[in-house]
Amino acid sequence: MDLLDTLTAKGLRGDVPTREEALAVLATTDDELLDVVAAAGRVRRQWFGRRVKLNYLVNLKSGLCPEDCSYCSQRLGSKAEILKYTWLKPDQAADAARAGVSGGAKRVCLVASGRGPTDRDIDRVTDTIAAIKDADPAVEICACLGLLSDNQAERLKAAGADAYNHNLNTSEGTYGGITTTHTYADRVDTVQKAHGAGLSACSGLIAGMGETDEDLVDVVFALRELGSDSVPVNFLIPFEGTPLAKEWNLTPQRCLRILAMVRFVCPDVEVRIAGGREVHLRSMQPLGLHIANSIFLGDYLTSEGQAGQADLDMIKDAGFEVEGAGEATLPRHRSDVAAAGDSCGTGGGCGPCGGHGAATTGCGGTVDEAAEPAGTEEAAEAAGDGLRSDLVRVRRRGAGTELAPNA
């Protein structure tokens, strides 16, 4: 297939495809799917070998957000019966982080709901980072606290944070239909602030919210242009009690095509399968590892993932290996530019990434393995009212509870 030969050649060189080529990946047929995965897999192995980076989420503050992101179970007016609690104490967060690191995670993602942190909140996160790094200085810390004000990124950097997550989520053109309480430009500004302070930029998207192929390509090219070092690809978990509860638009095949498109556009960037992995890829999760080089271990912010041991077994069974704490995630040329404060390697124009955790990860769910698949006409019919509460398990363990974390 000429398209895949072209995309593979470009990806192996680290070159960017055209918009038309990216759109063509999303338009491939099921007959072509394994060829698409194989082509993206060659690019993945060129830059990341067979390593899988594990990331672990700690939800520092859950629910009760004043913002109205439609995909988010923690949004203003959400009827989702999620855990709601205010800031974890540093030792509580460190305990949760330790569980993830013991399970194999090299990065801990500290997430808090809300529009953005106060300076007092930055103090809390500073103390939490110290508690985690005192126990294990090798742990990477990514903060995800919403929109940043002036000097807050610098304070997080000084506290020892390695990265900041803030997702763009969707295209600029459709952003206003998803959230009204802040803008796409606000998100771009926060990623630029984080990047300007020397934090590694983590910013991604959510697929499955009713967007077009053009929207998906737009947001991935925007992330590339902004210089995200890590691109979390979320598949919407239509959480009951949120406006998008009936948006079951994804199939495993569609998810694989989206991951492949992201890999071809961002060949040497960490591509992470984020929230919705279990719900939408289901038994096809191992094929996703041939494209992405990073996943979350265990549970998400407000929903449960598959058992942490099942994540580890899947990686091993598929012939991959967990990336060690001493191994660099990014190829050397990207690490060098990141260290120089230019993570996109274009000499400028880097910026925004990240969305706020709830989407990226907080809306994640888990699969009831005995349940019928979602994202299909059969599933939609089975849903009846369009809801699939059988597939989305609200998190009831780990941070904010008395029960041990899933790691």
User: Pattern of binders to ligand SF4 over 267-306, x per CB under 6 A?
Assistant: ----------------------------------------
Q: Is 138 left (phi over 0), alpha (psi -120 to 50) or beta?
A: alpha
Q: Which is nearer to ligand SF4, 75 or 334 (CB)?
A: 75
User: Pattern of binders to ligand SF4 over 111-130, x per CB under 6 A?
Assistant: --x-x---------------
Binding segment toward ligand SF4, per CB under 6 A, in 21-29, 62-70, 133-141, 231-239: 62-70
Q: Which is nearer to ligand SF4, 42 or 115 (CB)?
A: 115
Q: CA–CA separation, 273 vs 318, rounded Å?
A: 16
CB burial of 122-151 (b: ≥16 within 10 Å; e: otherwise) equals bebbbebbebbbeeeeebbbbbbbbbbeee
- What are the tokens at 319? 């012939």
Residue 282 DSSP one-character state = G
Residues 64-93, interacting with ligand SF4 (CB under 6 A): 65, 67, 69, 72, 74-75
237 binds ligand SF4 (CB under 6 A): no
Burial of 155 by CB count in 10 Å (0-12 exposed, 13-18 middle, 19+ buried)?
A: middle
Judge whether 143 and 97 are in contact, CB under 8 Å: no
Other beta carbons within 10 Å of 370? 6
Helix (H) or strand (E) holding 360: none
Q: Which of 320, 334, 328 is nearest to 14 (CA)?
A: 334
**Shortest Cβ 161–ligand SF4 spacing (Å):** 18
Q: Which is nearer to ligand SF4, 242 or 343 (CB)?
A: 242
Q: Which is nearer to ligand SF4, 33 or 301 (CB)?
A: 301
- Residue 136: half-sphere exposure toward Cβ, Cα within 13 Å: 20
User: Pattern of binders to ligand SF4 over 132-161, x per CB under 6 A?
Assistant: --------------x---------------
**Shortest Cβ 181–ligand SF4 spacing (Å):** 8
**Shortest Cβ 166–ligand SF4 spacing (Å):** 9
Q: Which is nearer to ligand SF4, 113 or 174 (CB)?
A: 113
User: Pattern of binders to ligand SF4 over 318-357, x per CB under 6 A?
Assistant: --------------------------------------x-
Q: CA–CA separation, 309 vs 300, rounded Å?
A: 15
Q: Which residues bind ligand SF4 (CB under 6 A)?
A: 65, 67, 69, 72, 74-75, 113, 115, 146, 356, 358-359
